[in-house]
């Protein structure tokens, strides 16, 4: 077993009713004049009102319009608002976009300079502002990772900031907070979580610890996503999805993700395809290329998810796994190709050029991909 380190939020509070711990955690962290960061979907669903009712002190500032795939300039404008209000802590409520935004806002509150210069690894050294995050989707795992993804409009690319400063002080994962998540977002974020677990499992940086988390996450998500998609009020399915997403986040936050995410980034930056949907569409096509280089791991997944029988060879089991994954995507109405999103195959060269630059993720992939191979994968997706 090679030497590795394990990173996560300072405290995890999980399970039905976990949201009731919010006030105590705010008191423990000394938060009195907080800002709440969320989006229009969450605020219109009634979840924001529920959380505000739990706060021991009224929020000093509310940001309730974080857009999907937020751009750097938007976050910089929100940062100025926070500084003017002199907040002493941030509560994030929402999916990956709201949580990632809150992570960056908390970490750059005392930082001078442009946020766009922080893309990359270890560009931040400290964070003073306490941060509590409450996910309302089961997908991104952002509540336990040291990564924040923002859009860079100039580069037409999604980019990541990676730093220990982005790890929240507290993550409260309460399944009931995901009940109002619309079916389309349940599907895209759920497949995103599945991708997190699978890419962490086959990552060159995987460890016995991340493998155990990824295996459990894969099983929970595979068996509960369709139920959560078909019936958002199914709390058992919602709890399994919330737990699976959390465990997937813990796995990929330490083992890393690979080519699926690297190839998804340009789709989000250039065509504004959501992160979850981008990953979902690219997953089967990347797996077909990766399969010969991680046979043993994918064979284990096929057996874990019970999509093969004992008499099946490794190759047969992996083919059945790919079929099962594609069926899972179809069962939650994820398109099989990029064509429905009005993306032309003439963009393959440009997409591959951009994806090839995401070396932070590509280096984790079980197969090192040339730009020509990346182009071939994109062609498979049309």
pLDDT digits (tens, 9 = 90+) for 223-235: 999 999 999 999 9
| Domains 11-178 and 183-380 in one fold | no
- Specify whether the CB–CB gap between 64 and 48 falls below 8 A: yes
pLDDT band at 2 (very low <50, low <70, confident <90, very high): confident
Whether 237 has a pLDDT exceeding 90, the answer reads yes
Whether 1 has a pLDDT exceeding 80, the answer reads no
Sign of CA dihedral 115, 117, 120, 126: negative
Residues 101 and 49: their CA atoms lie apart, in Å, by 20
pLDDT, residue 276, reads 85
Q: Give DSSP secondary structure letters for 88-145.
A: SEEEEEESHHHHHHHHHHHHHTT--S-GGGG-EES------S-EEEEESSSS--GGG-
**Mean pLDDT over residues 17-26, rounded?**
97
- Specify whether the CB–CB gap between 202 and 258 falls below 8 A: yes
pLDDT, residue 258, reads 98
- Look up residue 48 and give its two tokens: 């924001």
As a whole-number percent, the residues of the chain with pLDDT over 70 amount to 100
pLDDT, residue 4, reads 83
pLDDT, residue 77, reads 95
Among 196, 267, 189, residue whose Cα is nearest residue 224: 189
* Nearby residues of 250 by Cβ (< 8 Å), 6 or more positions away: 8, 141, 144, 210, 213
Could you give the 3-state DSSP secondary structure of residue 265? helix
* Global confidence as pTM: 0.95
Q: Please, how many CA atoms are within 13 Å of residue 359, restricted to the half-sphere of its CB?
A: 3
**Mean pLDDT over residues 332-357, rounded?**
94
Give start and end residues of each alpha helix (H) in the chain. 22-29, 40-45, 47-54, 72-85, 96-108, 183-202, 208-230, 235-255, 259-271, 275-290, 295-304, 314-331, 348-355, 359-362, 371-380
pLDDT, residue 210, reads 98
As a whole-number percent, the residues of the chain with pLDDT over 90 amount to 91
Greatest Cα-to-Cα distance within the chain, rounded to the nearest angstrom = 66
Q: Determine whether domain 11-178 maps to CATH 3.40.50.1970.
A: yes
Q: For 35-45, write each residue's pLDDT tens digit.
A: 999 999 999 99
Whether 333 has a pLDDT exceeding 80, the answer reads yes
With left for phi above 0 and alpha for psi between -120 and 50, is residue 15 left, alpha or beta?
A: left
pLDDT, residue 275, reads 85
Q: For 110-158, write each residue's pLDDT tens digit.
A: 998 899 999 999 999 889 999 999 999 999 999 999 999 999 988 888 8
**Mean pLDDT over residues 366-379, rounded?**
97
CATH of the domain spanning 183-380? 1.20.1090.10
Of 55-64, 274-283, 289-298, 323-332, the poorest mean pLDDT is in 274-283
- Specify whether the CB–CB gap between 106 and 63 falls below 8 A: no
What's the whole-number average pLDDT of the chain? 95
pLDDT, residue 69, reads 87
Among 118, 70, 120, 119, residue whose Cα is nearest residue 92: 70
With left for phi above 0 and alpha for psi between -120 and 50, is residue 30 left, alpha or beta?
A: left
**Mean pLDDT over residues 319-338, rounded?**
95
Q: For 69-115, write each residue's pLDDT tens digit.
A: 899 999 999 999 999 999 999 999 999 999 999 999 999 999 988 99
Structural domain spans, the chain: 11-178, 183-380
- Specify whether the CB–CB gap between 140 and 275 falls below 8 A: yes
């Amino acid at each position: 077993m090679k030497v590795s380190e394990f990173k996560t939020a300072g405290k995890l509070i999980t399970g039905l009713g976990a949201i009731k711990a919010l006030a105590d955690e705010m008191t423990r962290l000394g938060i009195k004049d907080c800002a709440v960061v969320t989006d229009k979907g969450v605020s219109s669903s009634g979840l924001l009102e529920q959380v505000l009712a739990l706060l021991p002190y009224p929020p000093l500032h509310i940001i309730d319009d974080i857009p999907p795939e937020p751009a750097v300039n938007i976050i910089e404008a929100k940062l100025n608002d926070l500084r003017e209000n002199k907040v002493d802590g941030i509560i994030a409520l929402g999916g990956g976009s709201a949580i990632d935004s809150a992570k960056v806002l908390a970490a750059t509150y005392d930082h001078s300079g442009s946020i766009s210069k922080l893309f990359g690894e270890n560009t931040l050294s400290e964070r003073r502002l306490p941060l509590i995050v409450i996910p309302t989707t089961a997908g991104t795992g952002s509540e336990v990772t040291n990564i924040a993804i923002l859009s860079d409009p100039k580069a037409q690319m999604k980019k990541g900031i990676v730093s220990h400063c982005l790890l929240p002080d507290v993550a409260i994962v309460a399944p009931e907070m995901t009940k109002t998540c619309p079916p389309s977002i349940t599907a895209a974020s759920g497949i995103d979580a599945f991708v997190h677990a699978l890419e962490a499992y086959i990552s060159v940086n995987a460890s016995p610890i991340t493998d155990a988390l990824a295996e459990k996450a894969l099983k929970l998500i595979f068996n509960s996503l369709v139920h959560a998609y078909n019936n958002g009020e199914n709390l058992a399915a919602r709890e399994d999805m919330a737990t699976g997403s959390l465990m997937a986040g813990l796995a990929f936050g330490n083992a890393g993700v690979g080519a699926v995410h690297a190839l998804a980034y340009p789709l989000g930056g250039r065509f504004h395809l959501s992160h979850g949907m981008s990953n979902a569409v690219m997953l089967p096509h990347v797996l077909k290329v990766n399969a010969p280089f991680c046979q043993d791991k994918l064979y284990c997944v096929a057996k874990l998810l019970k999509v093969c029988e004992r008499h099946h060879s490794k190759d047969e089991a992996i083919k059945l796994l790919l079929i099962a994954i594609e069926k899972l995507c179809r069962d939650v109405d994820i398109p099989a190709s990029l064509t429905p999103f009005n993306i032309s195959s003439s963009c393959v060269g440009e997409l591959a050029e951009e994806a090839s630059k995401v070396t932070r993720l590509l280096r984790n992939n079980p197969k090192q991909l040339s730009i020509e191979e990346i182009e071939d994968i994109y062609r498979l997706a049309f």
